[in-house]
Amino acid sequence: MINEIILKYFPGITAIQKDKFSLLKPVYDRWNNKINVISRKDMDNFYLHHVIHSLSISRIISFKPGTRILDVGTGGGFPGIPLAILFPESQFTLLDSTGKKIKVVNEVALELELGNVIPLNMRAEEENGKYDFIVSRAVSEFGKFVQITRKNVSSLSVNPLKNGIICLKGGDLEKELASFRSKVKIWEIRDFFSEPFFKTKKIVYLPV
């Protein structure tokens, strides 16, 4: 059965998407018992803390078919896996330098039949492919992250939002984003989702 919070915020999803979102937690429960990629206590809030948080990116952009997205430091597959379910006609490359995490990503993608997910086990510095957007969830300090990944942003934009970097961040970002103040756009996730968890969560977008 699909988690109610998915339907609360994404009532228009297809039957296939409902099935895939319903399967997400059982699949992660099973793999998390073998390879711990999500803290045990956090699994109780799996859909809110991981799935809905990942899907907040869809509130600022609806990826066009054919859009290429690189999820850097994906860990167990966030935000990439939920976004790949929501945007089945876009291609998601999920990169992480830790092999066991990418193994989980690969197995989850296989079990959910996500043909638009490509797992990649390497460091971001080593990846030279071009993508429309780079996404991440609180991987590292923003300036350092931009320095490493901006080389991967394609110059040809196909979406209304110019190609660039989209990061899910939390807390006070004033110091971290000081040198990007005139360039970045920031959205408060609490404006999209009402749960207290999102009170300090933000989406940071840097056009490249």
Q: Mind listing the domains of the chain with CATH numbers?
A: 4-207 (3.40.50.150)
Indicate the pairing of strand 201-207 with strand 185-188.
Answer: antiparallel
The token pair that represents 121 in the structure block: 């086990």
DSSP per-residue letters across the chain: ---HHHHHH-TT--HHHHHHHHHHHHHHHHHHHHS--S-GGGGGGIIIIIIIHHHGGGGT--PPTT-EEEEET-TTTTTHHHHHHH-TTSEEEEEES-HHHHHHHHHHHHHTT-TTEEEEES-GGG----BSEEEEES-S-HHHHHHHHGGGB-S---SSSPSEEEEEEES--TTTTGGGTTT-EEEEGGGT--SGGGTTEEEEEEE-
Q: What is the pLDDT of residues 59-115, one digit of tens each?
A: 999 999 999 999 999 999 999 999 999 999 999 999 999 999 999 999 999 999 999
Place of tokens 């989980």: 104
Per-residue confidence at 138, pLDDT binned at 50, 70, 90? confident
Confidence class for position 42, pLDDT limits 50, 70, 90: confident
How far apart, in whole angstroms, are the C-alpha atoms of residue 190 and residue 198? 5
Give this prediction's pTM: 0.96
Q: Identify which of 134, 136, 95, 92 has the alpha carbon closest to the alpha carbon of residue 116.
A: 92
In this predicted structure, the answer to whether residue 36 has a pLDDT above a threshold of 90 is: no
In the chain, the largest separation of any two C-alpha atoms, in whole Å, equals: 46
Q: Is the pLDDT of residue 2 over 90?
A: no
Query: How many whole angstroms separate alpha carbon 52 and alpha carbon 6?
Result: 7
* CA–CA gap between residue 162 and residue 9 (Å, rounded): 25
Banded model confidence at residue 22, pLDDT cuts 50, 70, 90: very high
> What's the half-sphere exposure (Cβ side, CA atoms, 13 Å) at 41?
0
**Sequence-ordered list of residues with C-beta below 8 angstroms from that of 57, at least 6 positions apart, any chain:** 79, 83, 135, 166, 168, 203
**Mean pLDDT in the chain?**
95
* Token reading at 123: 């460091």
Whether pLDDT at 204 is above 80: yes
Query: Can you give the pLDDT at residue 1?
Result: 58
Position 32 confidence tier, pLDDT thresholds 50, 70, 90: confident
Res 39: pLDDT: 83
Give residue-wise pLDDT tens across range 141-153.
Answer: 999 999 999 999 9
What average pLDDT does this structure show over 104-133? 97
Q: How far is CA 126 from CA 41, 68, 72, in A?
A: 34, 18, 12
